[in-house]
Amino acid sequence: MSPKLDLSLISNELKTHILAEALPHIQRYHGKTVVVKYGGNAMTEQRLKQGFARDAVLLKLLGINLVLVHGGGPQIDRALQKIGKQRVFVQGIRVTDAETMSVVEWVLAGEIQQEIVSLINHYGGQAVGLTGKDGGLIRARQMLAPDQERVGEFLDVGHVGEVEVINPAVIKALLSGAFIPVISPIGFDDDGASYNLNADWVASRLATILNAEKLLIMTNIAGVMDKQGELLTDLSASQIDALFADGAISGGMLPKIRAALDAAKSGIPAVHIMDGRIEHSLLLEILTEQSLGTVIRSH
C-alpha cells in the first residue's frame, strides 16, 4: 500500500508558510540522509508525537532518507520509580546496574520504539524498529567514564556502553526502500551482552557513518544557553570549550553537545540542537529558511 499524504493536522498558516518556501529545500535534501535524534523530553504530549510521526512520513515522501534515533530518559526514570529504584546519573550518563539495564531495554525497545513505529505506520509510513543488535548494527563495549575528581581513575557506570563499530548495512538496505528506520540506543558485544548507550552519541555516530546532510537533535529546550540563560544560536568548538570552562553546560546537555560537536567535526554540514516541543519543528527546520535552535560548528 502506498503512503497517503494528509496535511489536515497542520494549521493553514503553517502549511502556506512551509509550502511557499519548501522547493529549494526539497531540492537540496532529496536523496540525502537526515538523522534525527528524538529525545525522551521532546515526546511529552500525544499531539506532539503525532505531529512528529506525520512530519517523518511527509519528509520520507519527499525523498529524504530519514533515520530516527530515539531517547527515553524521563520514561526510564518513571519505570524505575515504579519499582522503587533510584536513578543515578554521572556526567549526564545513567549508572546502569543489571536490573536497570533490563528496565532500559524494556522501555526503549519494548515501549518507545514500538510507539513511534506504530504512529508512523498509522500515518501511512513504513517504519522499522531496530536495536543495535539487529543486522549487527551497533557493536558496543563497556564505557570507562573518567573520574573528574581523581585523575587517571574511572567511575563504575555498570552496563553503559560506548559505540565501538557501526555496521550501517541494514540501515542502507532499509533506506533504499520506502522504510524509515527507528533505532533504540542499545548496543551489543560479541558475547551478546547488551549496553545502555546515550542516544545522542548513537545519532552522532550514525550521522557520520551515513554521511548525513543534517543531524537534528530534538530536545526540550530552545537550544544551548549561556550562563545568563540566553539562547546561543551559533556555537563553534572554541566557544563550546569556553562554555564548559564557565560551567554553563550540565546534565543531559553534556553528552549532547559533545556528540553534536563530534558530528560537526566529522563533516556533517548542519548540526542543530533544537526544541522538539515546537509543533512540526522537523518540517520547519528542514523545509523552511528558519534555522531552529543552536547550530554547532566544527571551527
Ligand X SMILES: Nc1ncnc2c1ncn2[C@@H]1O[C@H](COP(=O)(O)OP(=O)(O)O)[C@@H](O)[C@H]1O
Ligand Y SMILES: CC(=O)N[C@@H](CCC(=O)OP(=O)(O)O)C(=O)O
- Of the candidate spans 33-41, 59-67, 233-241, 257-265, the one that interacts with ligand Y by CB under 6 A turns out to be 33-41
> Residue 232 interacts with ligand Y (CB under 6 A)?
no
Sheet of 179-183, strands arranged across: 126-130, 179-183, 65-70, 33-38, 214-219, 270-275, 294-296, 234-235
From 1, 200, 19, select the one nearest 94 (Cα to Cα). Answer: 200
Separation CA 162–CA 172 (nearest Å): 22
Binding mask 84-123 for ligand Y (x = CB under 6 A): ---------xx---------x-------------------
Sites for ligand Y among residues 183-202 (CB under 6 A): 185, 196-199
Of the pair 137, 197, the CB lying nearest ligand Y is at: 197
Is 73 annotated for ligand binding? Answer: yes
Q: How far is the CB of 131 from ligand Y (least distance, A)?
A: 12
91 CB contacts (<8 Å, ≥6 apart)?
A: 145, 148, 254, 255
> Residue 44 interacts with ligand X (CB under 6 A)?
no
> Residue 170 interacts with ligand X (CB under 6 A)?
no
Is 211 annotated for ligand binding? Answer: no
Of the pair 200, 287, the CB lying nearest ligand Y is at: 200
Q: What are the cell numbers at 97?
A: 546496574
Element spanning 164, H or E: strand 161-166
Of the pair 125, 185, the CB lying nearest ligand Y is at: 185
From 186, 154, 163, 185, select the one nearest 90 (Cα to Cα). Answer: 154
Among 10, 34, 40, 140, binds ligand Y (CB under 6 A): 40
* From the list ligand Y, ligand X, none, partner contacted by residue 7 (C-beta under 5 to 8 A by kind): none
CB-based closest residue to ligand Y: 71
Q: What are the cell numbers at 45?
A: 504530549
Amino acid at 222: A
Q: How far is the CB of 289 from ligand Y (least distance, A)?
A: 28
Asked if residues 212 and 271 have their Cβ atoms less than 8 Å apart, the reply is no
Of the pair 29, 38, the CB lying nearest ligand Y is at: 38
Of the pair 207, 287, the CB lying nearest ligand Y is at: 207
Is 196 annotated for ligand binding? Answer: yes
Of the pair 61, 225, the CB lying nearest ligand Y is at: 225
> Residue 252 interacts with ligand X (CB under 6 A)?
yes
DSSP conformation class of 111: I
* Residue 187 CB coordination number (10 Å): 27
CA distances from 99 to 89, 96, 167, 251, 288 (A): 15, 8, 28, 23, 45
From 209, 60, 40, 37, select the one nearest 137 (Cα to Cα). Answer: 209
Q: How far is the CB of 248 from ligand X (least distance, A)?
A: 5
Element spanning 82, H or E: helix 73-82
> Residue 221 interacts with ligand Y (CB under 6 A)?
no
What is the binding site for ligand Y (CB under 6 A)?
A: 39-41, 71-73, 76, 93-94, 104, 160, 185, 196-199, 252
- Residue ranges of the annotated binding site for substrate are 72-73, 94, 196
What is the binding site for ligand X (CB under 6 A)?
A: 39-42, 71, 73, 219-221, 224-225, 248-253, 256
